[in-house]
Amino acid sequence: MDELEPKIDNINFKLFIGFWCRDSRSFLPRFMKAREYLKKYANPVVQIVAIDKSKKKPKSMIDNYKILRVNTLIVYRDGK
């Protein structure tokens, strides 16, 4: 993991999930466990966005990020 340490600095996550979705419910705990592991080396910021079952709300987030399916995970490094 030492070789990854400089590469994981300044990493942020935006996770779009549906709590009504079985895949989302199984992915979220695994993702949070991975985040806890990464916290040993960096302090990743995680934004979790809950999508409604019709995939229409929150409209601005869905439109801005062109979300078609849940789970969608977007990873940013240095804000990009």
pLDDT tens digit sequence for 46-71: 899 999 999 889 999 999 999 999 99
Is the pLDDT confidence value at 1 over 70?
no
Name, in order, each residue with C-beta under 8 angstroms of 26's C-beta and a sequence gap of 6 or more.
none
Q: What is the pTM of this model?
A: 0.81
Average pLDDT of the chain, as a whole number: 87
CATH number at residue 32: 3.40.30.10
Place of tokens 């910021």: 45
Q: Which domain holds residue 31?
A: 5-77
Classified as helix, coil or strand, 33 is: helix
Task: State how many domains the chain has.
Answer: 1
